[in-house]
Amino acid sequence: MVSLYLHRSNPKLASTHYPAAFVKQLTNDGRAGEKIFNEFCSSCHAKSPIISTSAPRIGNKTAWQPLRRLGIKNLLQITVNGAGAMPARGGCFECSDEQLKATIQYMLDRS
């Protein structure tokens, strides 16, 4: 459903999305969390997301405060399993747990 939405809203994004190749190039990349956020998470978690959900938006300290209290280990489990409209692994099935942690930390550091 999300891929259909992305295709209709931004055909270029949908036709150029090669997640396995994208994730592979992030090995030992200090900006992996930021890049994964931009590729997979920003559709719902950006300050002005293209998909309207109840997902906490990056930069919104109030929305992230209760999540911050859960700690990175619990936030990783939520991300791995998915929650609400968020698919398992945040849609990045190719991402390692370490890459997902880096992405979660990227969002926390900016919120």
Q: Give pLDDT tens digits for 19-65.
A: 888 888 888 999 999 999 999 999 999 999 999 899 999 999 999 99
CATH architecture type of domain 2-109: Orthogonal Bundle (1.10)
Cβ(39)–Cβ(50) under 8 Å?
A: no
Residue-level pLDDT at 16: 57
89: CB partners within 8 A, 6+ apart: 79, 80, 82, 95, 100
Residue-level pLDDT at 22: 87
Residue 3 has pLDDT above 80, yes or no: no
Name the one residue in this structure whose structure tokens are 């945040």.
Answer: 90
Residue-level pLDDT at 18: 83
Residue-level pLDDT at 23: 87
Residue-level pLDDT at 38: 94
